Amino acid sequence: MSIAIDQALLTRKERQAREYATPSAPPTTVPVIEAIATGVPDLVLDQSVAADWMAGHFIDSEQQARIRRIFRKTMINTRRFAVDPLAPRPHAPSGTSATIQDRMHLFYRHAVPLAVDVARRALDGVDPADLGLLVFATSTGVIAPGVDVAVIEELGLPRSVARLVVNFMGCAAAMNGIRTASDFVQANPDKKAMVLCIELNSVHVFPIEDVDDAVIHSLFGDGCGAVVIGANRGAEQAEAGSIVIRDKFTHLFEATEDGIAVGVHHDGIRCELSENVPKYIYNGVAPVVGDILRRNGLRQSDIDVWAIHPGGPKILLESARSLGLPATASSTSWAVLGEFGNMSSVALIFVLERIAGEAEASKPISTGVAFSFAPGITIEGFVFDVVSH
């Protein structure tokens, strides 16, 4: 009798275990950048014109010559702007001194149409119902409800889409957003995520006070970029032009807080760069990249493509020098820098777009490393395969 009762209890427990068992995990997937779109404002400013304009603020010929040298050394030919940075007091009504509120209104007015256009093109062919997450990143606009809400309204996206706003992550904000979006689609393989970045640095052009202001005035431009990320079984099943994210990494360099700072001032948002930035990058890049490569069973010689943030010549040169690479290893980054300047978080999306479009047909899959830098200083990036077959 006791044996029969024990068997009945065991059978009941087994049945209950089956009824309440945790559902089996979905097949292992990897995040894939399925689409990329970029856009810039209409105003194109030649770098030599900008140099002459700034030099004209000084009487001393040596200072004028120094300013022109600073602009030439950027290796930038042209930049795009939403607001003409050469116009006298362009940021406030009635010619008065601009306030942070004036600049935020200006940001929103110019950002929405550009962001909507870029997002629409990135989502071309995507069922809006499949979009589960929208990550919006910027360091040049702080306003809520903001551009992310306008994009949802204008494009008729699901009102249930989850939203994440990333502010003040500087030039690495796109990488930060891609990391979050990648985690989302792996946890929700039936959904897609979009990372949308826009930087309108021209909204925050400040009055020139001394020659040192030439560095900031010579580097930054405006732009917008978006990537759509989905989940896939791997590079072999991804479509041509896709970027398959193998692994992601982030690392806060020690004792580098002075390197890159982004903050709100009474009259606008400022980005301040320390003269120590090149040293911090040279010392910090190689150990972090070396670790991520080893974690993925890769050697540096296995990397076909380097997507380094085109923040300026020193950033590109010191990153390459740290890795023992020639400067030409990041040729796509140099090309984007020359054509658009430093667009902060947006710039690396432009680089990835070109890499995806230029993948060698002779090599079905090329392996790459992408990274950028955030205030801290933090390096943020990922290892990827770009599919060309």
Report the catalytic residues: 171
Q: At what angle do helices 47-55 and 61-73 cross, to 10 degrees?
A: 160
Give the Cα separation of 341 and 335 in Å (integer).
10
SS3 category, 169: coil
Q: Which residues, including other chains, have CB under 8 Å from residue 277's CB and lie 6 or more apart? A: 259, 260, 314, 315, 377
Give the Cα separation of 341 and 350 in Å (integer).
11
Most distant pair of Cα atoms in the chain: their distance: 108
Angle, CA 316 vertex, CA 42 and CA 262 arms, to 5°: 65
Q: Are 304 and 368 in contact (CB under 8 A)?
A: yes
Q: Are 348 and 178 in contact (CB under 8 A)?
A: no
What token pair was written down for 301?
A: 């010689």
Q: Where are the alpha helices (DSSP H) in 76-213?
A: 100-122, 147-155, 173-187
Please identify which residue in the block is written with the tokens 């950028």: 372
Nearest to 164 by CA among 185, 153, 149, 175: 149
Nearest to 262 by CA among 141, 381, 108: 141
Q: Which residues, including other chains, have CB under 8 Å from residue 97's CB and lie 6 or more apart? A: 89, 267
Nearest to 330 by CA among 293, 371, 389, 295: 371
> Which residues partner with 262 through β-bridges?
271
SS3 category, 299: coil
Give the Cα separation of 174 and 194 in Å (integer).
11
Pairing relationship of beta strands 43-46 and 78-81 according to DSSP bridges: antiparallel
